[in-house]
Amino acid sequence: MSLITEPNIAHPDDFYQELIDIHRDLTEEQSLAVNSKLILLLANHIGDTEVLSEAMVIARKEFL
């Protein structure tokens, strides 16, 4: 299984709005904690360490 990097969300604008909304009225620390929890929940759901490793490489690539 390979990481899907092409658009694959049915309603991306709605998803983006919901993602923004979960951070409303949070401190920066709380917002970072929410992001961390979301990442761990989704990683657990995916469960494929090869896909997760590929995602981490892609996410960090521009900062190297």
The 10s digit of each residue's pLDDT in 3-60 is 999 999 999 999 999 999 999 999 999 999 999 999 999 999 999 999 999 999 999 9
The answer to the question of residue 1 being in a domain is: no
The answer to the question of residue 2 being in a domain is: no
The answer to the question of residue 54 being in a domain is: yes
**Residues 26 and 20: beta-carbon distance below 8 Å:** no
Rounded-to-integer distance, Cα 36 and Cα 15, Å = 18
**Domain span at 53:** 26-64
Rounded-to-integer distance, Cα 17 and Cα 64, Å = 29
**pTM score:** 0.86
Question: Residue 57: what residue type?
Answer: V
The answer to the question of residue 55 being in a domain is: yes
Reported as type and span, the H/E element at residue 41 is: helix 28-46
Our count of domains for the chain comes to 1
The answer to the question of residue 34 being in a domain is: yes
Rounded-to-integer distance, Cα 35 and Cα 40, Å = 9
The answer to the question of residue 35 being in a domain is: yes
